[in-house]
Structure 1
Amino acid sequence: MTPRPIQTSQASPPLSPSKISHRTSPSLSPSRISHAQLSFSTNIPQGSPHSSTQTPQESPRSGKQMRQRSSSSAQSTPSPGNVPLSYPPPPTQTPINATTTVEWSTGLCACHSDITNCCVTFCCPCITFGQITDIVDKGTSSCAVNGTVYAVLAIVLRCACFYSAIYRRRMRLQFNLKGSTLGDCCIHSFCEICALSQEYRELHLRGFDLGLGWQANIDRQNQAAITTPPPHESMRR
């Protein structure tokens, strides 16, 4: 059996540059090229990987979830305007309208400081009581009427101490003196003479002349204020 001769492929002759360009690039005019590119770009589907621009579409469910997350994050992180501010407690201050009570000028048993009034009060307490009520009521009530009422209550009903305790309370509130309503009743019940003498001395030390009455005391104070020169004029003299 005779072996077949091996056929060797003959190399094709080299092509000229003109033929190579004629075979590889077809003859297309510029108008055909632009038309082909346009048709190629329009025929490419949006989902293909060759599309240059892809617009991501958000599903309604995912958008709703994002809005819920953003709202929850906004609620969890308070804004600067909603952050509660802590201030130090204000210093304790006394109210402006608060009144401070003061002590009586003389004690309850200091009757020896005014012997004359002590004797008058011991013998006829209605006189001292009438003079006290005229000053406390600022002239709205009569000294003689109040003294007469006191005498009737003391002689007939034996309860004049409660009537005088009412004026002691009025006097305390008027001059901001220490004491209580219960204390006023107890003092006038057990020490009527000493209580009236203490009230008389208190008004006398505050500048009142109880023998003149309320109106005479006001006229005397007004006259003293008119006749007294101001301090700067006296210094010039």
Structure 2
Amino acid sequence: MAYKAQPQMVIVQGGGGNRNAKNLPVTAGGRDWSHGLCDCCSAPGTCIVACCFPCITYGKNKNRFKHLSAKGVPHPDGGGCCTGDCCIHFIVASCGIACLLQCMSRGETRTRYNIKGSGCGDCCTACFCTPCDLVQESREIELEEQSMGYLKH
């Protein structure tokens, strides 16, 4: 009997790393988030920033996500700090509608990682659980970055 090699993941430029790093089961509608919504306290640094300065966490998530999507590798400085996306979030938040930006971002993240959910659920989560939403997205992006051998920034 011949030895059959196990399939290996190949990382293609622009393709990113393992988008299901915890190898969660995928059904017809997708898979669950890698971390629960209320599991934000297990990433205390990100959680504190998301609670006190959600615009910074939003900006970092957005930049990390865009960089992974476009270049297939993690953002070189962890997404930056006060970026254009951060400033837009801050301005929109001062009008009380930042959850709309976060709703769209959450939908993009769900699509990239084939996660179950809906636009209505994204909006409710973004509006009523803002810090938890931001941390959950950050941790999903982080798992893909870690699958490429990069550590958390």
Shorter-normalised TM range:
0.5 to 0.7
Tell me the residue number matched to 1:101.
Answer: 30
Is contact 1:136-1:167 (8 Å) kept? no
Matching residue within 160, 178, 184 for 2:122: 184
Give structure 1 regions of 4+ aligned residues with deviation exceeding 6 angstroms: none
Q: Which moved more, 1:130-139 or 1:167-176?
A: 130-139
Percent identity among equivalent residues? Answer: 33
Matching residue within 71, 77, 90 for 1:151: 90
1:120 is displaced (CA, Å) by 1.0
Alignment gaps of 5+ in structure 2: 1-26, 71-78
Is contact 2:65-2:141 (8 Å) kept? no
Alignment gaps of 5+ in structure 1: 1-97, 210-216, 222-237
Structure 2 residue matching 1:158: 3-state secondary structure = coil
Is contact 1:150-1:163 (8 Å) kept? yes
1:138 is displaced (CA, Å) by 2.8
CA deviation vs aligned residue, 1:72-120 (integer Å, no higher than 9, x gap): xxxxxxxxxxxxxxxxxxxxxxxxxx96511101000001211111111
Q: Residue type matched to 1:132 in 2?
A: N
Matching residue within 32, 39, 45 for 1:110: 39
The structure number with the bigger radius of gyration is 1
Q: Residue type matched to 2:126 in 1?
A: H
1:137 is displaced (CA, Å) by 2.2
Q: In 2, distance between residues paired with 1:138 and 1:100?
A: 26
Tell me the residue number matched to 2:62.
Answer: 133
Tell me the residue number matched to 1:175.
Answer: 113
Q: In 2, distance between residues paired with 1:129 and 1:180?
A: 20
> Which residues of 2 match residues 215-226 of structure 1 at below 5 A?
none
Q: In 1, distance between residues paired with 2:116 and 2:55?
A: 25
Q: In 2, distance between residues paired with 1:176 and 1:128?
A: 22
Q: In 1, distance between residues paired with 2:108 and 2:135?
A: 16
Tell me the residue number matched to 1:6.
Answer: none
Is contact 1:106-1:201 (8 Å) kept? yes
Q: In 2, distance between residues paired with 1:160 and 1:208?
A: 29
Structure 2 residue matching 1:206: 3-state secondary structure = helix
Q: In 1, distance between residues paired with 2:144 and 2:112?
A: 12
Q: In 2, distance between residues paired with 1:131 and 1:115?
A: 16
Using the size of structure 1 for normalisation, the TM-score is: 0.44
1:207 is displaced (CA, Å) by 2.3
Q: In 1, distance between residues paired with 2:138 and 2:67?
A: 15
Q: In 1, distance between residues paired with 2:105 and 2:146?
A: 17
Instruction: State how many pairs are aligned.
Output: 113
CA deviation vs aligned residue, 1:121-159 (integer Å, no higher than 9, x gap): 11111111011111222376x86000000000111x110
Is contact 2:40-2:136 (8 Å) kept? yes
Matching residue within 50, 59, 64 for 1:121: 50
